[in-house]
Structure 1
Amino acid sequence: MSGTRFRILGPLEITGPEAGSGPEDGSGSGPGGESGSGTDAGGSSISYTPRAAKLRVVLGTLLVRANEVVSVDTLIDELWPTAPPRTATTTLQVYVSQVRKLLRSADPRHGQDALVTRSPGYVLRAVGEELDAAVFEEVSERGRRALAAGDFASASRLLRRAVGLWRGPVLSDTPHGPLLESAAVRLAEARMTALGERIQADLRLGRHHDLVGELQSLTAEHPLREDLRLHLMVALYRCSRAAEALEVYGVLRRTLVNELGIEPGPRSQRLHRRILEGDPALLHPGGEPQAPAGRAAGEGPAEGRAAMGRTAVRRAAVDRAAVDRAVMGEVTGPGSAHHGDGCLPGADPSFVGRGAELAEVERMLREDPGAVRVAVTGMPGIGKTAFAVEGAHRVADDFPDGRFFLELRPSDDRTPLTADEAVRLLHDVVRRADGTADGGPRESLASRRMLLVLDGADSAAQVREVLAAAPGSAALITGHRVPAGIDGLRTVVLGALTAGEARRMFDGAAEPSAVAEIVELCGGHPLALRIAAGLLGARPHWTAAALAARLRDERTRFGVLRTGDVQVRGHLLAAYASGAGAERRAFRLLGLLPPGEFAPGHAAAVLGLSEGDALDLVEGLVDAGLLEVAPGGGYRLPELLRLLAAEELSAREDAATVRAATERMCEAYAPQAEALTTTGPGPVPVPTAAAVHVHPVRSVRTAHPLRPVPARLARVAYEAGLWELTVRLAGGVEPEGGEEDAEGVCALALEAARRCGDRTAEARMLRVLGDLAWQWRRPGPAREHYERAWAVADDAGAREEAGRALVGLAELCLDTGAAPEAAELLRSAVTAMPAPEHVRGRYEACRALALVALESEGPDAARVWFGRCLDLARELRDVRLEAYALRSLRALHAPGSGGAGQPLETRPGVWRLRPRFSGASAAWASV
């Protein structure tokens, strides 16, 4: 498609070379209503942009996922977000046909190959400079690397070119469904990032006079973006307009407090102080604040550039600003100012939850206030500092000599304090709190009983020196890693907020189900939840449901979870970058594992290591706050860290490495799935009235003791082309999305079985599809699947699968009251499964024969068959099937067991009302 250009950074535009002569029919109007007239500014190309809105939706969706498979379901959701018509699939095929015709018109030579069908949808190929969004991302990345390398002229030129590609909001003339909306948010955030980096490069080039007007316009358009306000403050200060720069800070603070209930971030506060003090370094290019912590631009595979928001400037001595930082602690949010309570920052009035953890900290500090040391740890952004400050305020009465906050690892670009610096700072802070003059007599730290909040501990040695200077004082120590080697240390690990605690951040939100989804998508992460709640408060036109929809796309979630220069991703990335290379690689690969708890063996498989070596890395990640220990004894990658791991995996590992790790992971889960395939992933039955009367024609399912594997594993295996593993995994999956999700996984496994030539597996998946259709009361599709399963199994000589397909057909007959036909099919099924290894198949046949006997002969005849089921279940050693047979036998002895309208458990966990029958042709009760 070398002659076609796609533009989505603004209204949709598709142009082809003038030599393409326009639409094939020569009518002046292309297929689907596209314009066949008009040229670009240079007069060398013709527009083929479709006028029809639905065609623009199809094209836009394919283009934002260019060179990726876009599923049919995704396209249908985009075209009809609320209620797709029954003919949606057929209508979509018509639209795709029109798009293909349009592309052929735009480029007769290559257009026919641009849009190809790839299960489960379509791929639109766009390479090189054909797609403006791809050009934008490539050029902005080059600009970012130039900025990191100090080549500010090249950075400014490249980033200006990248931003110049934008003509308006993404696909501004196209209706947005969920995918286009999330893509628009992601790309808009990328544009703002590139724009901010271009402004940063221009400031480094001394172009502050030229930037003032642009920045004033941008801050009016984006009032909550702190980075733009900071750039404007620097530009104004360099233009000798310090008073206006201070006013910009005042407007920023009022906006954040009124809209979000938070104070400006640490960088804004530091810049404000520097302008107040008339810092001469700000007058020169290079003296402005740098970008917030994040991945260093141009960081290569060696990952040696883990500077993450730090500079090469090192301090030779402790200065007054360092003391100010230690006293104030720079805890953002309301109440962070100095309140006269020693040097402890004020409690955060928006602090919620942590009742159990705070009670434990109170207990530990009160039982031995003179010497206890408590480490507070957890994943980045989990609220360790706020928790420690809250805990210190709660026990204030037990520490009459003062509560002091010491920031050991400053949040700005400076290096962590050394142990000597920290001790000198503590002496200075205590002296200032006592009101004594500098250099005057002061009381020894050793004789005081204080509570020290040591925030951001960098090493055990650093902490030990401070504690040695104040041996009679208690300490609350925060940090990503527990400082091992400190005598008497106790640890409190902060995890995600509970659902109830998290909901308190959204007081006033009228959509509890949407709020619950937001909490889940944020993984209960306090910083993410605070930002989400702030966004809802700042944008009254947003609903909780709309925010939840924006957060669903994993690729854009981090872009949504930011306000100003406060962002979740930066916090997480800084902790990730501080680890050793082996830990970082392990973290990335563990992102392949499905959400939820995993065992050390699963980690070993995905890492390609022995279990012992893998466990060492896993425990290191736990110490770093990048993994959690799960309640069940395994490990868990918290939701937002899982997204970061996937992002880093995509950026830093080659396709061969990822595929090999994926194959090892799937191999590790396959035995578990195969065990469920053998025993059946059915539910543990719940024989209660509530389980029956709501929907008597549907199953009531609970978890099986043998835990199913997540459905996404089968999808991952299929996408990696691991056909045999797809089949092995599919038999024991746990669908996350109900009936459609279960059928989708089975359909993938069916296709995989055909690709690897496994006819028995093909028959099995057809039979499972029949079971699903039967369970959801769709007898037509169920019959079709069972008949196809029987034909494939019979042709392949798979006798047990053939027999089980006949059992399914027999149950369909029984549903309609055709008991004689059902009995005939079941006799054929038993005959088809004579071998000793066909025990499970014979069990299913006997179960169905018991149901036939119950309807046509009565309870006594049914007992014989359920008794055989019990013997076969014990031969299988399957406690679930054995329990079902015992329940059925007990039910037959119950009073009224032969009566009409009584609940009947037809399969384990599947209940239905008893039929009203008259002889062999009885009909099922209407429900």
Structure 2
Amino acid sequence: MGFSILGPLSVQHQGRDITPTAPKVRQVLAFLLVRRNQIVQFSEFIDELWGSNPPGSAMTTLQTYIYKLRRDVLDLSGLARLHTQSCGYLLDVSDDQLDVCRFDTLAQRGRAAHEAGETERASALLAEALQLWRGRVLSGVTEGQILSAHAARLEENRLRVLGIRIDADMSLGRYDELISELQELVRSYPLHERFHADLMTALNQAGRRYEAFEVFRQLRGLLADELGLEPSASMQRLHHSLLQATPEDGDPAADGASRRAHPAIVPAQLPADTLDFTGRGAPLARIRRMIAFRDGGTTARAVSICGMAGVGKTTLALHAAHVDKAQFPDGQLYAHLRGPSPAGAADPADVLVGFLRGLGVPEQRLPATLEERSSLFRTLTDGKRLLVVLDDALSASQVFPLLPATPTSAVVITSRWGLQDLPGVRVVKLGMMNPDECLTLLGRIIGPHRVTAERADAERIIHRIGYLPLALRCVGARLNAVPTLTLQRMAALLDSGSAPLDQLRFADFDVRANYDKTYFRLAPHDRSALRLVSLLPPPTFTITTAANLLGADTDAVEDQLGRLVNNHLLEATSDRDSDVVHYQLHRLVRLYAQERLNREFIHPAA
């Protein structure tokens, strides 16, 4: 008896089904239930029911739906009370009348039992919670953006609870019973690595080791085909453990007492500058000031250029290095640190091998350990005027061994994260290009005459791609490759395609793949937050709005949003007249996050 939303919307009273049949009334009831015991504002109802095109009679029509809901369901059953407030409606419903409340209670008790080591009890409680699910959340209810986001959040919560229950059953040795369930989960969520890992473990424990290898092989092929990625490090460790590989790497050490470098080698490792470099006057000037030599220092000058994927950090760093390389007559060293690459971040010990070779150290004299290589690097660079460019750094710990220790040298670092934890680093945050810079760059790529001839469409294009340099270069490459492709047609493709990011993939340019690298480095709950806030109406939202959507307290949500800001997937600005922080998604990040939501949860097997 009561309300059910964990499956088809249902209202049962005294053995009778009194679920509303009118689609809009069902939608109103669903919205009130997912926001139970909270005020749902009139404007939120209108956004949910009619989106961006509400009728002039929207408020009157909403009141009609509320009247019907009261008459046919609430007053008839007494299951809940609907209160009219000055700004909206509040549905007062007790926890025992709603299945999702019972689910939350059982899930919380199950998690507590699992953490306390009461594995059998945890499995039973979590299984009881999951049995309350009768299908997809609110199936049969028309969902607008807000209701869809709430449904996605509930589905993700179900998957988290399911994962804990599987953990408990694994601990109880129920491998044979789990295999068929996990096989079905892998089919339904083909990109969910956790389910693949559990299936591999269960198959191995059940004596079906070679089937476990086949699960890994299929996942690896799917990730490569779909995302251009390798399985995560934890998946690869699991695979290696099943192979029982224990290679012993022989490492004959050289005599450290006789190590010394060949003199008079001046490295010049910088990749070529960008021929059509455009704009960026202010950040370029800042970087040049930061790396300029100044008397009185005791450490190398270090600047970190950070910003979202595709914003042009590497292009700017290399241009600055080339402009000022005459200030560094003892040479320039360069390393691509591979950031969050599917192949894994570069090992600083391996990077130092390249640096030491560039400084003239022969192969047989290379030290064996990271600490020895870093020490020799600092010795060889002491007192020299050297410029080091470290591209796509992952962390401060990766960068620190690569820093010269002399104040006559400078280091330019690019990273999607600011590396503020690197002592002494000065950070330059790189934003989007401005419209004039974008138009100039597009003209340099495809020819200024084409931009002049189709100026309005060129402006449409740069607006649609959110002034992101990587996306602009991708569009320019496509227009160059197909001279008959007009700017008008290109703008139309960006406007009307079912998957706009498909239009931003050409040759070596791929906006989606760049976002993948950051997205898959996030913790699962931060990925979830990104997916869900992408459904909030643009342009901005607040912590309170996000907390209502995510179903968590504002402190926890503020931490999540802070991590997304640090990963340059969100932008945060403070209101001058208050302490309210407003968050905004770049247009392409919003499209990407909605794609991930659709692929992973709404149509996971598509």
Same fold (TM over 0.5): yes
- Kindly tell me: are residues 504 and 386 of structure 1, through their superposed partners in 2, closer, same or farther at Cα, counting changes over 3 Å? closer
1:16 partnered with 2:13: yes
Tell me whether 1:530 sits opposite 2:515 in the alignment: yes
User: 2:593 is matched with which residue?
Assistant: none
The normalised TM-score by structure 2 is 0.56
1:64 to 23, 27, 34: 34
SS at the partner of 2:7? coil
Change (3 A) 1:405 1:121: same
Is 2:395 aligned against 1:456? yes
CA pair 385-240 structure 1, distance change in 2 beyond 3 A: farther
Tell me: CA distance 1:9–1:440, structure 2 relative to 1, closer, same or farther (3 Å). closer
- Cα distance, 1:548 vs. partner? 9.9
Larger RCO (CA within 8 A; separation ≥ 6):
2
Alignment CA distance shift 1:559-1:258 (3 Å): farther
Indicate the residue corresponding to 2:147 in structure 1.
Answer: 180
User: Aligned letter for 2:380?
Assistant: S
The yes-or-no answer on 1:5 pairing with 2:5 is no
Counterpart in 1 of 2:592?
A: none
Q: Within the alignment, does 1:190 sit opposite 2:157 as a pair? A: yes
Aligned to 1:52: 22
Q: 1:383–1:527: 8 Å Cα contact kept in structure 2?
A: no
Counterparts of 1:531 and 1:374, CA distance in 2 = 28
Question: Structure 1 168/153 Cα, relative in aligned 2: closer, same or farther at 3 Å?
Answer: same
> Would you say the 8 A contact 1:467–1:473 is kept in 2?
no
Aligned runs of 1:773-792 on 2, under 5 Å? none
1:738 aligns to what?
none
Q: 1:5 to 1:192 in 2, by over 3 A?
A: same
Asked if the contact 2:48/2:144 (under 8 Å) is kept, the reply is: yes
- How far apart are the structure 2 equivalents of 1:387 and 1:67? 47
Aligned to 1:256: 223
Tell me the alpha carbon deviations over residues 516-551 of structure 1, each in whole angstroms, 9 at most, x when there is no partner. xx99xxxxxx9999359999xxxxxxxxxx999834
Paired with 1:167 and 1:551, the residues of 2 have a C-alpha distance of 27
Give the Cα–Cα distance (whole angstroms) in 2 for the partners of residues 458 and 138 of structure 1.
42
Letter in structure 2 aligned against 1:7: S
Partner of 1:492: 428
Name the amino acid aligned to 1:101: R
**What is the CA-CA distance between 1:602 and the residue it aligns to?**
4.5
Q: Could you tell me how far apart the structure 2 residues matched to 1:177 and 1:190 are?
A: 20
Contact 1:170 1:184 in 2 (8 A): yes
**2:174 aligned to 200, 207, 210, which one?**
207
What is the correspondence of 1:124-135 to structure 2 with a 5 Å cutoff?
Answer: 124-135=91-102
Cα distance in structure 2, aligned partners of 1:250 and 1:509: 40
Query: What is the match of residue 447 of structure 1?
Result: 380
Which one of 215, 226, 235 corresponds to residue 202 of structure 2? 235
Q: Summarize the Cα distance change of 1:481–1:106 in structure 2 as closer, same or farther, 3 Å threshold.
A: same
Residue 159 (structure 1) aligned to one of 115, 126, 133? 126
Pick from 62, 67, 84 the counterpart of residue 97 of structure 1.
67
Identity of aligned residues (%): 30
Equivalent position to 2:304, from 363, 376, 389 = 376
Query: 1: distance between equivalents of 2:563 and 2:52?
Result: 40
Q: Distance in 2 between matches of 1:531 and 1:424?
A: 27
User: Residue 455 and residue 74 in structure 1: after superposition, are their counterparts in 2 closer, same or farther (change >3 A)?
Assistant: closer
Q: 1:376 to 1:74 in 2, by over 3 A?
A: same
Letter in 2 for 1:228: F
Deviation at 1:504, TM superposition (A): 1.7
Whether contact under 8 Å (1:136, 1:165) holds in the other structure is: yes
State the Cα deviation string for residues 720-761 of structure 1 (Å, max 9, x = none).
Answer: xxxxxxxxxxxxxxxxxxxxxxxxxxxxxxxxxxxxxxxxxx
SS at match of 1:51: coil
Counterpart pick for 1:482 among 415, 420, 424: 420
User: CA offsets per residue over residues 841-871 of structure 1, 9 Å max, x none?
Assistant: xxxxxxxxxxxxxxxxxxxxxxxxxxxxxxx
Give the deviation of 1:275 after TM superposition: 4.4
Q: What is the deviation of 1:54?
A: 3.3
Paired amino acid for 2:584: E
Q: What does 1:214-229 correspond to in 2, within 5 Å?
A: 214-229=181-196
1-structure distance, mates of 2:549, 2:229: 18
Closer, same or farther in 2 for the Cα pair 1:547/1:176, shift >3 Å?
same
- Rounded to whole Å, the distance in 2 between the matches of 1:157 and 1:259 is 37
Larger radius of gyration: 1
Q: How does 1:882-901 map to 2 (within 5 A)?
A: none
Q: How far is 1:355 from its partner?
A: 6.5
**How many Å apart are 1:198 and its aligned residue?**
2.5
Query: In structure 2, how many angstroms separate the alpha carbons of the residues matched to 1:267 and 1:356?
Result: 43
Q: Which residue of 2 aligns with 1:695?
A: none
- CA displacement at 1:11 relative to structure 2: 0.9
Query: Structure 2 counterpart of 1:12, which letter?
Result: L
Distance apart, 1:180 and its partner CA? 2.4
Instruction: Report SS of the residue matched to 2:134.
Output: coil
Listed one character per residue, the Cα deviations across residues 611-657 of structure 1 (whole Å, up to 9, x for unaligned) are: xxxxxxxxxxxxxxxxxxxxxxxxx765379xxxxxxxxxxxxxxxx
Question: d(CA) in 2 for partners of 1:389 and 1:197?
Answer: 45
Task: State the partner residue of 2:535.
Answer: 550
Kindly state the Cα deviation for residue 100 of structure 1 after the two structures are TM-superposed.
1.7
Structure 1 position 131, deviation (Å) = 1.0
**Post-superposition CA distance 1:328-372 (Å, at most 9, x none):** xxxxxxxxxxxxxx9x9x99xxxx99967996799689978xx85
Q: How far did 1:168 drift?
A: 1.0
Question: Which amino acid in the other structure matches residue 212 of structure 1?
Answer: I
Aligned to 2:11, the other structure's residue is in SS state strand
Report Cα offsets for 1:447-486 as digits up to 9, x if no partner: 2678474641269xx94x7646799875455665535754
The 1-side partners of 2:278 and 2:212 are apart by: 38
Trace 1:496-895 onto structure 2 (pairs within 5 A): 499-501=466-468, 504=471, 530=515, 550-552=535-537, 596-599=573-576, 602-603=578-579, 638-639=583-584
Match of 1:843 in 2: none
Partner of 1:541: none
Letter in 1 for 2:132: L
Q: Which residue of 2 aligns with 1:121?
A: 88
Preserved CA contact (<8 Å) 2:305 2:313: no
- Return closer, same or farther for 1:429/1:235 CA change in 2, 3 Å cut-off: farther
Q: Give secondary structure in 2 for the equivalent of 1:173.
A: coil
Which letter maps to 2:83? V
| Contact kept? 1:115, 1:123, Cα under 8 Å | yes
Q: TM-score, normalised by structure 1?
A: 0.39
CA shift digits 1:180-238 (9 cap, x unpaired): 22222222222222222332333344433333322221121112223322333333344
Q: Name the SS of the counterpart of 1:550 in structure 2.
A: coil
Pick closer, same or farther for the CA change 1:376–1:527 going to 2, 3 Å. farther
What is the RMSD computed on CA atoms of the aligned residues? 5.9
Does the aligned pair in 1 maintain the 2:288–2:320 contact within 8 Å? Answer: no
Shift in Å at residue 264 of structure 1?
3.8
Note the C-alpha offset of 1:95: 3.0
Residue aligning to 2:440: none
| Partner SS, residue 140 of structure 2 | coil
The answer to whether the Cα contact below 8 Å between 2:127 and 2:165 also exists between their aligned partners in 1 is yes
Q: After TM superposition, list the pairs within 5 Å mapping 1:300-319 onto structure 2.
A: none
Cα deviations across residues 488-517 of structure 1 (Å, max 9, x unaligned)? x543234578721078289679575799xx
Q: Where do 5+ consecutive residues of structure 1 fail to align? A: 18-44, 281-318, 321-341, 412-421, 520-525, 536-545, 562-567, 578-590, 607-635, 642-927
Aligned CA distance change for structure 1 residues 211 and 137 (closer, same or farther; 3 Å): same
| Separation (CA, whole Å) in 1 of partners of 2:185 and 2:278 | 37
Asked whether the equivalents of residues 311 and 468 of structure 2 are also in contact (C-alpha less than 8 Å), the reply is no
| Alignment gaps of 5+ in structure 2 | 250-266, 294-298, 435-465, 476-489, 502-510, 521-530, 551-556, 587-606
